[in-house]
Amino acid sequence: MRALSTLPLRVTTVLTLGIVVLGMTAMGRTSVSAAYAAEKPVAAEKNPPGDIPDSQVFIDYASKLGFTMQVPEGWARTDRSDGASFIDKLDGVVVTEMAADQEPSVETVKAVYIPKILLSQRAVKVSAVKAADLPAGKAIRIVYTSNSEPNAVTNKQVRLENERYLYFKDGKLVSVELYAPKGADNVDQWQLMSQSFRWK
C-alpha cells in the first residue's frame, strides 16, 4: 500500500523547496518525513514476485481529467479526484494530475520534485532523471528504488523499483508512476504503458 503517495506533497504545483517545507511544519508530518528519509533500504528479494506476464491484456483507461493510457486488465482500480491507481499485489500504476505553471525540466525536477519524493516515500534512492521523447511529447523520466509500506500483518517490507513519467500540457502536469518489486522483469510492459499515454 502506498497511502502517502496521495498526500499533498505529491499533488502540489511545482514550487520552491522552501515553500514546500513550510507547508509541512506540523510536527507529525515532519517526523514522518524524517523517519522515511532515515529508513534503511531493505534487501531485494532473491526471486522477486511481480513480473507482469507476457500474456497480460491491456485495456484503455480514459480519465475525465483529459488523458488516456493503457493499463493492465483486471488490476484493482481506485479513482480519486486527482487521478487513479491500478494495483495487483505488489505491482502498481498511480496516475496523478496537478496544475503547473510551466513545463518541468531535468533541472527543476531535480531541485523541486525529487525532494518531495524523498520526503513522501520510504528510503528512496534516485538513480536517474532524464528527458524522454514519447508519443505524447516531451516528458521527464525518474528512476528510483524505495521500500514498500510494512505489511499490516507481518510488518515485512519489500524493496521496490519505480519509474515515474511527468507529462505536461496547457498548465497540466500528469505523473504516471509504475512500481514493482526490485528485480521483477517488467521492462516491456512499463514501456508499453508509458508510450501509450495520450492527451485528449
Distance (Å, whole) CA 50 – CA 58: 16
- Give percent above pLDDT 90 in the chain: 76
Average pLDDT over residues 174-181: 98
Q: What CA–CA distance (Å, rounded) separates 128 from 195?
A: 18
Q: Tell me the domains of the chain and their CATH numbers.
A: 3-44+52-199 (3.40.1000.10)
List, for residues 101-137, the tens digit of each pLDDT value: 999 999 999 999 999 999 999 999 999 999 999 999 9
The pLDDT, as a whole number, for residue 47 is 67
Residue with cell 515485512: 156
Q: Is the pLDDT of residue 49 over 50?
A: yes
State the cell numbers at 78: 481506485
Q: C-alpha grid cell for residue 155?
A: 510488518
Q: Does the predicted TM-score (pTM) go above 0.85?
A: no
Beginning with the edge strand found earlier in the chain, give each strand of the sheet holding 91-99 in spatial order: 76-80, 83-88, 91-99, 172-181, 159-169, 137-147, 122-134
Q: Among 85, 74, 70, which residue's Cα sits nearest to residue 188?
A: 70
Mean pLDDT throughout 83-103? 96
State residue 16's pLDDT score.
Answer: 32
